[in-house]
């Protein structure tokens, strides 16, 4: 479910609020109900009593829904609803208005409103019966309407059609139906094979689509015909613009003609309709029955397959029962043939599987008929084998205990040791579930989409290593990274059972390995720790497996040590955590790529984000952005040269507008693993085996054909492809424009699926290897998926009304939202003495000043030239995130000779967005944007280094931003009145 209703404006009198709350705990009751049903994101309510105040508030703040009662202080509800309609308030990124809902008591006042007023101004009217779960039902109903199309197309989520035009009845039915559906989801969650699978099952619950007339319901049925779980319908409602006393019967008849196995429940106050319903193969409930609601629950459990699979004979006698797939497989072994036939004829097996979100298996079974088999025993064998194979396929995505006998080097995911797997490994496990459950691996012909096989060493091994070697207290207190690394590498104890398992793993795997960190806190939604800990590549090709084992254990020890490096400690200090709370697990993963002499690397790697912080029309933020580069992904995540494109507009290459742009921005080097290299214990760089090569080497390796263009100096033109003579430029144009490989489509699918699965925008790291043996599919490997923090803005108006004399800075390229107050410090690189050849020295000076600001807990504004956080010192200042972690605002200035765009694929950029750091870009060629250097240089210097100055102001600055318009200003005096 991508779209949620989070903020609700409730307009009602104080007395109506009292009636809703009863004991003053409406919000608490709703929140507790969300928690008990394991629903995230309970909605926030803003209550107001006057219509005029509501209209003003709707102009100032974004809401997802408006609820109102009949009693509003200064105007009639239908008048207020009409005025809100006229405001044309849109829901998030959709071209539809936010819903306006009327909550009323079942009394004469409501009847008069319906009879004498235009109620079409309300999206829906509901009657309050004192059950607070109606609020949940209303919210979920509108969320389902917003998400049903997307979730059905993406993963085949099922839907229940509810046809009811009586406000009183659908106001009672909705809370009951939703509660029962969510309880079913909870039952399935308890059977989940791991945490990711449980999470996915909760998100794939059936949708409820409420319809008021025949035509509306039939349109929904035809649109989602293959995904309808069941139908609950009144008998008497509108058809063809007239009240039809048998409309429900006619609807049921048409449904049954197409799909006799779809359960249909008809309801009416007329007992005489019961026989007609039964004749159609439908069930029937009498609305006047004192047990109506309980009967409705029982119908859903028995007919929507919300409980166990109960084997019954034709007389209804129970012959067996199964509560999960394994039990169903076991019971099928001995159930009599005639009972299997009875259930198969009615598609009970596929219906039960659909209700349990096993959509893929359900579709396969539904396509089969008894006539397809020579005997019922052959059908029995087919059912048992289908269940067994499906369970085996589904568990391919599981993280199981490592066993040499069962570990498959092509697709296994196993663990060594107890404790947590850490954030990065959890993300990979969730990816595995998505890929296997929804059959993404073979969605594109000739392409294998997968997570590379890996083993994960759990956090218990980390704790044991620290404690047995008496390293914990030393590591927490020591501030020298080299001493920590040396001490960890010289530690003698390493658990014997882990050594034995690693040795067995190395017997199986003789290809290069990536040894990655996966700490408890890593890849959390709000503090991703991106790029904070070490990743080490190992050749792993030596004939002596004990030498390979020693290198592997050393790599694990170095990653353990990086938990306590100063960068990591400084990062944790600006979060809500403490260094001793952090624990480290380690991922040992097969690298993706091919060998070229002493080099090993994939054709290209990249980072994809489902949210673009700097879109250029017609591209929207929600369309996402992808950064790709030849070779290992280190080039992208460390802010090097890469090609950026939007997966929905792959022909628009953002940084290539003219020939000079091609020559200036094209990638000139790439990272690859040096297979002749060894892990250097004394190297300052933990990943010493990964080296840079000239891009010409990639051409000699045959890896530029599909990703490069050619510059011809004869006519000063750039041509797609490498068939001409000339200078090779990495543009990915042959792939993106000629679509010789479906890169944009694959990435778009994965971003959509990842965002849906995690319920938040995501970032995905991937690698693609085109150099595969003839007949084998191309490798598209997903290396990581993490949540991406995207906050909704707080509206800030009239940013253009301030005079330039009032402003220190103004920009029309701003990432950030709202207001930042009480900043009195500015740290800036002096533009008069800036030297591109000295950017590493500048980074060191900034780090020293940041340490001081961190100790004194003083946030500051940071100003500098070029791309922040790049590994290439000629493109900008190569700081790591912990070196500037106290900066709350970053101002990026262009270089005079090279315009540089922010690297959205880098770990540095990920941390900026997660810590809500405002990012201003100032382009000297744009006269609207500026920094008042003259004013800044008049301020008192607190501390001055060679290239960097620190200024402390008497009055605090005030930062204001509008994310929607990408405008931002910094006022010199924070007390300036608007």
Q: Can you state the angle between helices 51-60 and 77-86, rounded to 10 degrees?
A: 20
- The rounded distance, in Å, linking the Cα atoms of 156 and 358 is 10
Q: Is the pLDDT of residue 955 over 60?
A: yes
Beta bridge partners of 587: 456, 516
Q: Is the pLDDT of residue 335 over 80?
A: yes
Residue 893 — φ and ψ, nearest 5°?
-105, 145
Cα 721 to Cα 154, 642, 697, distances in angstroms: 34, 17, 17
- Helices (H), ranges, 193-261: 195-203, 214-223, 247-258
Kindly state the average pLDDT of the residues 708-737.
91
- The rounded distance, in Å, linking the Cα atoms of 768 and 791 is 31
Q: Are 970 and 825 in contact (CB under 8 A)?
A: no
Kindly state the average pLDDT of the residues 829-839.
91
In tens, the pLDDT along 604-658 reads 999 999 988 767 778 888 899 999 999 999 998 887 788 989 999 998 887 777 7
pLDDT over 70, % of the chain: 87
**What is the Rg, in whole angstroms, of the alpha carbon atoms belonging to the chain?**
31
Q: What DSSP letter does each residue of 902-940 carry, written as one string? A: --TTSHHHHHHHHTT-EEEEE-TT-TT-EE-HHHHTTSP
- The rounded distance, in Å, linking the Cα atoms of 611 and 621 is 5
Question: How high does pLDDT run on average in the chain?
Answer: 84
Cα 174 to Cα 17, 139, 161, 251, distances in angstroms: 21, 10, 11, 21
Residue 465 — φ and ψ, nearest 5°?
-60, -45
Q: Is the pLDDT of residue 706 over 70?
A: yes
- The rounded distance, in Å, linking the Cα atoms of 825 and 951 is 6
Kindly state the average pLDDT of the residues 500-513.
94
- The rounded distance, in Å, linking the Cα atoms of 590 and 945 is 45
Residue 978, pLDDT score: 45
Higher-pLDDT residue of 104, 326? 104
Largest Cα–Cα separation, the chain: 94
Residue 576, pLDDT score: 56
pLDDT band with cut points at 50, 70 and 90 for residue 202: low
Q: Are 601 and 632 in contact (CB under 8 A)?
A: yes
- The rounded distance, in Å, linking the Cα atoms of 489 and 756 is 42
Query: End-to-end CA distance of the chain, in Å?
Result: 40
In tens, the pLDDT along 746-792 reads 999 999 988 888 777 888 999 999 999 888 999 999 998 888 766 54
Q: Are 585 and 420 in contact (CB under 8 A)?
A: yes
Higher-pLDDT residue of 468, 129? 468
Residue 539, pLDDT score: 95
Residue 977, pLDDT score: 45
Query: Encoding tokens for residue 611?
Result: 């949210």
In tens, the pLDDT along 159-175 reads 899 999 999 889 888 88
Residues 6+ apart with CB under 8 A from 934: none
Residues 6+ apart with CB under 8 A from 877: 829, 839, 842, 843, 846, 864, 865, 866, 867, 868, 869, 870
Q: Is the pLDDT of residue 193 over 50?
A: no
Kindly state the average pLDDT of the residues 353-363.
77
Residue 652, pLDDT score: 84
Query: Residue 832's CB: how many other CB atoms inside 10 A?
Result: 7
Query: Encoding tokens for residue 453?
Result: 């096989």
- The rounded distance, in Å, linking the Cα atoms of 230 and 343 is 17
Higher-pLDDT residue of 132, 390? 390
Residue 401, pLDDT score: 79
- The rounded distance, in Å, linking the Cα atoms of 671 and 280 is 68
Higher-pLDDT residue of 30, 61? 61
pLDDT band with cut points at 50, 70 and 90 for residue 903: low
Q: Is the pLDDT of residue 278 over 90?
A: yes
In tens, the pLDDT along 804-828 reads 899 999 998 888 777 888 899 999 9
pLDDT band with cut points at 50, 70 and 90 for residue 920: very high
Cα 681 to Cα 554, 941, 948, distances in angstroms: 8, 42, 34
- State whether the Cα torsion 757-763-765-770 is positive or negative: positive
- The rounded distance, in Å, linking the Cα atoms of 22 and 48 is 18
Higher-pLDDT residue of 418, 495? 495
Q: Is the pLDDT of residue 794 over 50?
A: no
Buried b or exposed e, range 196-230, using 16+ CB within 10 angstroms: bbbbbbbbbbbbbbbbbbbebbbebbeebeebbbb
- State whether the Cα torsion 943-946-948-953 is positive or negative: positive
Q: Determine if the peptide bond prior to 217 is cis (ω within 30°).
A: no
Residue entry with tokens 């390229």 = 813
Q: Is the pLDDT of residue 525 over 60?
A: no
Helix (H, G, I), strand (E, B) or coil at 883: helix
pLDDT over 90, % of the chain: 40
Residue 186, pLDDT score: 63
Checking phi first, is residue 417 left (phi over 0); if not, alpha (psi -120 to 50) or beta? Answer: left
Residue 222, pLDDT score: 93
Residue entry with tokens 């590549």 = 537
Q: Which of 434-448, 547-561, 902-916 has the highest mean predicted lDDT (pLDDT)?
A: 547-561
Q: Is the pLDDT of residue 35 over 60?
A: no
Residue 393, pLDDT score: 66
pLDDT band with cut points at 50, 70 and 90 for residue 37: very low
Helix (H, G, I), strand (E, B) or coil at 447: strand
Looking at 110-119, 293-302, 967-976, which range is the least confident one? 967-976
In tens, the pLDDT along 860-879 reads 999 999 888 887 788 888 88
Kindly state the average pLDDT of the residues 882-900.
81
In tens, the pLDDT along 280-320 reads 999 999 998 888 888 888 888 777 767 788 888 888 788 88
């Amino acid at each position: 479910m991508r779209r949620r209703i989070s903020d609700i404006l409730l307009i009602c009198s104080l007395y109506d609020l009292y009636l809703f709350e009863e004991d003053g705990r409406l919000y608490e009751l709703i929140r507790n109900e969300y928690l008990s049903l394991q629903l995230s994101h309970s909605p926030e309510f803003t209550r107001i009593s006057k219509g005029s105040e509501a209209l003003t508030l709707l102009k100032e703040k974004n809401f997802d829904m408006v609820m109102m009662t009949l009693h509003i202080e200064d105007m009639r509800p239908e008048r207020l609803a009409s005025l809100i309609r006229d405001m044309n308030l849109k829901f998030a990124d959709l071209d539809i208005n936010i819903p306006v809902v009327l909550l009323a008591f079942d009394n004469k006042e409501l009847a008069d409103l319906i009879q004498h007023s235009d109620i079409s101004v309300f999206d829906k009217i509901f009657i309050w019966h004192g059950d607070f779960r109606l609020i949940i039902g209303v919210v979920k109903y509108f969320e389902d309407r917003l998400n049903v199309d997307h979730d059905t197309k993406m993963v085949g989520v099922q839907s229940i059609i509810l046809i009811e035009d009586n406000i009183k009845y659908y106001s009672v039915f909705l809370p009951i139906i939703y509660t029962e559906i969510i309880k079913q989801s909870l039952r399935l969650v308890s059977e989940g094979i791991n945490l990711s699978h449980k999470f996915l099952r909760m998100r794939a619950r059936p949708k409820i689509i409420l319809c008021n007339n025949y035509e509306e319901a039939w349109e929904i049925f035809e649109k989602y015909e293959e995904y309808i779980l069941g139908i609950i319908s009144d008998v008497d409602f509108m058809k063809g613009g007239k009240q039809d006393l048998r409309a429900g019967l006619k609807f049921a008849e048409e449904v049954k003609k197409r799909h006799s196995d779809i359960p249909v429940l008809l309801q009416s106050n007329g007992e005489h309709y019961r026989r007609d319903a039964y004749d159609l193969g439908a069930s029937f409930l009498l609305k006047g029955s004192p047990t109506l609601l309980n009967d409705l629950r029982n119908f859903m459990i028995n007919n929507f397959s919300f409980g166990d699979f109960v084997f019954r004979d034709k007389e209804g006698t129970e012959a067996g029962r199964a509560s999960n797939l394994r039990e169903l497989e076991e019971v099928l072994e001995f159930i009599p043939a005639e009972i299997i036939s009875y259930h198969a004829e009615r598609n009970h097996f596929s219906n039960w599987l659909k209700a349990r979100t096993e959509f893929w298996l359900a579709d396969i079974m539904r396509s089969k008929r008894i006539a397809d088999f020579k005997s019922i025993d052959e059908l029995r064998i087919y059912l048992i084998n289908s269940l067994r194979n499906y369970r085996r396929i589904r568990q391919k995505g599981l993280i199981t205990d490592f066993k040499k006998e069962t570990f498959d080097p092509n697709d296994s995911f196993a663990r060594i040791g107890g404790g947590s797997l850490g954030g990065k490994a959890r993300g990979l496990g969730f990816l595995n579930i998505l890929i296997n459950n929804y059959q993404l691996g073979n969605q594109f012909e000739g392409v294998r989409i997968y997570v590379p096989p890996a083993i994960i060493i759990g956090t218990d091994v980390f704790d044991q290593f620290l404690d047995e070697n008496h390293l914990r207290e030393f590591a927490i207190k020591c501030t020298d990274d080299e001493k920590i690394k040396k001490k960890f590498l010289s530690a003698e104890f390493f658990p014997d059972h882990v050594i034995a398992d690693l040795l067995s793993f190395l017997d199986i795997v003789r290809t290069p390995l990536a040894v990655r960190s996966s700490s408890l806190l890593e890849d959390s939604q709000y503090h991703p720790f991106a790029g904070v800990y070490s990743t080490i590549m190992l050749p792993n090709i030596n004939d002596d497996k004990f030498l390979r084992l020693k290198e592997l254990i050393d790599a694990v020890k170095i990653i353990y040590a990086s938990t306590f490096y100063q960068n990591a400690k400084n990062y944790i200090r600006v979060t809500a955590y403490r260094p001793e709370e952090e624990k480290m697990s380690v991922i040992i993963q097969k690298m993706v790529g091919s060998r070229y002499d002493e080099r090993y690397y994939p054709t290209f790697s990249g980072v994809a984000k489902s949210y673009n912080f700097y879109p250029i029309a017609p591209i929207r933020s929600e369309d996402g952005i992808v950064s790709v580069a030849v070779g290992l992904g280190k080039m992208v995540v460390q802010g090097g040269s890469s090609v950026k494109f939007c997966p929905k507009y792959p022909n628009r290459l953002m940084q290539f507008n003219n020939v000079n742009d091609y020559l200036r921005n094209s990638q000139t080097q790439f990272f690859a693993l040096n297979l002749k290299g060894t892990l250097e214990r004394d190297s300052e760089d933990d990943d010493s085996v990964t080296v840079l090569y000239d891009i010409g080497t990639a051409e000699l390796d045959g890896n530029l054909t599909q990703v490069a263009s050619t510059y011809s100096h004869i006519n000063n033109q750039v041509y797609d492809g490498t068939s001409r003579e000339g200078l090779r430029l990495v543009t990915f144009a042959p792939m993106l424009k000629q679509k010789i490989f479906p890169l944009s489509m694959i990435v778009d699918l994965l971003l959509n699926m990842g965002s849906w699965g995690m319920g938040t925008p995501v970032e995905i790291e991937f690698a693609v290897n085109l150099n595969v043996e003839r007949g084998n599919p191309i490798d598209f490997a997903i290396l990581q998926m993490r949540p991406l923090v995207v906050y909704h803005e707080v509206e800030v108006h009239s940013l253009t009304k301030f005079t330039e004399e009032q402003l220190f800075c103004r920009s029309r390229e701003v990432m950030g939202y709202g207001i930042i107050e009480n900043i009195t410090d500015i740290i800036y690189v002096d533009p008069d003495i800036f030297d591109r050849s000295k950017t590493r020295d500048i980074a060191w000076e900034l780090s020293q000043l940041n340490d001081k600001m961190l100790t004194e807990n003083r946030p500051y504004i940071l100003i500098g030239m070029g791309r922040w956080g790049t590994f290439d010192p000629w493109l900008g200042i190569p700081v790591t995130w912990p070196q500037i972690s106290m900066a709350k605002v970053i101002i990026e200035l262009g270089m005079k000779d090279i315009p540089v765009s922010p690297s959205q694929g880098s770990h540095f950029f990920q941390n900026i967005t997660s810590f809500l750091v405002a990012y201003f870009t100032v382009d000297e060629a744009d006269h609207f944007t500026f920094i008042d250097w003259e004013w800044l240089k008049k301020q008192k210097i607190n501390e001055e280094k060679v290239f960097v100055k620190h200024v402390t102001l008497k009055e605090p600055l005030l930062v204001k931003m509008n994310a929607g318009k990408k405008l931002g200003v910094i006022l010199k005096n924070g007390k300036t009145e608007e």
